[in-house]
Amino acid sequence: MSTAVPGTTAVREVSVFGDAIAYFNEAAALLNLDPGIKAILTHPSRQIIFSIPFQRDNGGIEVYTGYRVQYNFARGPAKGGIRFHPGVTLDEVTALAFWMTWKCAVVDLPFGGGKGGVTCDPSTLSMSEIERITRRYAAELVEVIGPDKDVPAPDVNTTPQHMAWIMDTFSMHVRQNTPGVVTGKPLEIGGSRGRVEATGRGVSIVALDEMARLGIDPKGARVIVQGFGNVGGVAAKMFQDAGCTVIGISDVTGAYVNTNGIDAAGAMAYAQEHHSLDGYRGGDKMSNQSMLEVECDVLVPAALEKVLNIDNASRIKAKLIVEGANGPTTPEADHIFAKNGIIVIPDIMANAGGVTVSYFEWVQDRQGYFWKEAEVNARLEEVLLDNFAVLREIAQSRGISYRTAAYMVAIDRVVKSLKLRGVYA
């Protein structure tokens, strides 16, 4: 099955974007959106494609393709990461920018959605080559990014160092120091304390709040986390600190399960030392898919998209699923979970901690005043729980899932901004 990507003539296999459109349509139907408004919201505001010629260390010249999609500006500057990956396409970047629009809106941030990328394989490039590509990418976008236009951040295969290069390149072009052009920067040049841990922390914040509503005592609650990178690893440690028993963790090398409990902090230290969990002896090894089907109280898919699907949904034995990754659940699986009484906290709510603290970083850069980490974490918890309460009330009053409620909240906020601003023609 295939679907046309809004704003393009391309056709692609239904993927995360297809799922996002399906979720959007379900919520939009409940909001009775005007067809014209719906048309605006399903088309990106701007798609930018450009060439990135650069010189290899050996003197050879190569050309990569760069992308930046600014999906919607109704609530403020576009916001979204930049990824360096050989599989980056305009379709993918458009889909992710679409998603960022709703993620920013559901936690009530004054941002629209954006995303960018370069079609390259960083593993084949030297650090100096990566720097040249990054700076050329930034230079091509000088006219369309900025603190009041579009604020990029790290994503797949990009880091605070990449953001430092982009900030410096942009600042040199505009002839003034502009730290607010990107977020996710090193602390020394305007980054925010708490940013690295923010997404994983946010996952644990909303999960523990929902566990309290469901009557699941953290002390002894069994948690499984698929994906042990920055999101999953931090979330696992936060769950453990709250008294939960982490019984399963995984990365690309496989899954590791111990029903007596895994030391999350120790596993993080092992993974950092060995660059993966390969060889970890704190649990019995099994496949990632098998681990998803182990009985638990809380399941956190924090790795890949579409891992919870029609093939395995009926075998999932969690009470609560908290989506740390983007798009880990297909619409078909979502319906099975609803039928089986499994609560799902959707990605646009569950993993919005990262963009929330990116917003805090943007605010601090504009103020020139930086907060202590405890203040960042307290503000993060307040933003997430206040907005989670809004969508929970809608879900309960209308008898719908948290996912549909989250999209309804996000779409409604964007539509209100759009209507107040009007359509300039």
Q: Does domain 44-177 sit in CATH 3.60.21.10?
A: no
How far apart are alpha carbons 299 and 321 in whole angstroms? Answer: 5
- The burial of 149, by beta-carbon neighbours within 10 Å (0-12 exposed, 13-18 middle, 19 or more buried), is given as middle
Give me the mean pLDDT over the 392-406 stretch.
97
Q: Is the pLDDT of residue 3 over 70?
A: no
The backbone torsions φ and ψ at residue 29, rounded to the nearest 5 degrees and listed phi first, read -65, -40
How far apart are alpha carbons 185 and 190 in whole angstroms? Answer: 6
Q: Are 135 and 169 in contact (CB under 8 A)?
A: yes
Closest CA to 253 of 223, 224, 222, 291: 291
Give me the mean pLDDT over the 68-83 stretch.
97
CA angle, 386 then 392 then 394, to 5°: 110
Q: Provide the residue ranges of all domains of the chain, joining segments of one domain with +.
A: 44-177, 198-350
Q: Is the pLDDT of residue 4 over 60?
A: no
| Chain mean pLDDT for the chain | 94
Q: Is the pLDDT of residue 67 over 90?
A: yes
The CATH homologous superfamily to which domain 198-350 belongs is NAD(P)-binding Rossmann-like Domain (3.40.50.720)
For residue 304, the model assigns a pLDDT of 84
Q: How far is CA 279 from the centre of its chain?
A: 29
How far apart are alpha carbons 411 and 24 in whole angstroms? Answer: 8
Q: Is the pLDDT of residue 1 over 60?
A: no
Radius of gyration of the chain (CA): 21
Give me the mean pLDDT over the 155-171 stretch.
96
For residue 53, what are the contacts with CB-CB under 8 A and spacing of at least 6?
A: 61, 62, 63, 136
Catalytic residues: 115
Name the amino acid, one letter, at 59: G
Question: Which DSSP state fits 56?
Answer: -
pTM over 0.75: yes
Give me the mean pLDDT over the 59-64 stretch.
96
Q: Are 305 and 324 in contact (CB under 8 A)?
A: no
Question: Which DSSP state fits 274?
Answer: H
For residue 16, the model assigns a pLDDT of 65
- In angstroms, the Cα distances linking 111 to 58, 140, 321 are 42, 22, 27
Strands 61-70 and 11-13: unpaired
For residue 299, the model assigns a pLDDT of 98
Decide: helix, strand or coil at residue 153.
strand
Residue identified by tokens 């504009």 is 366
Give me the mean pLDDT over the 363-378 stretch.
97
Residue identified by tokens 């040249």 is 132
For residue 7, the model assigns a pLDDT of 40
Strands 343-345 and 320-322: parallel
What are the pLDDT digits (tens) for 266-294?
A: 999 999 999 999 999 999 999 999 999 99
For residue 9, the model assigns a pLDDT of 35
How far apart are alpha carbons 20 and 25 in whole angstroms? Answer: 9
What are the pLDDT digits (tens) for 316-349?
A: 999 999 999 988 999 999 999 999 999 999 999 9
Residue identified by tokens 């704003």 is 7
H or E segment at 130? Answer: helix 127-140
User: Is the CA virtual torsion 363, 365, 366, 368 positive or negative?
Assistant: positive
Give me the mean pLDDT over the 101-124 stretch.
97
What are the pLDDT digits (tens) for 219-244?
A: 989 999 999 988 999 999 999 999 99
Give me the mean pLDDT over the 73-90 stretch.
96
Domains 44-177 and 198-350 share a fold: yes
Q: Which tokens in the block code for residue 151?
A: 């604020």
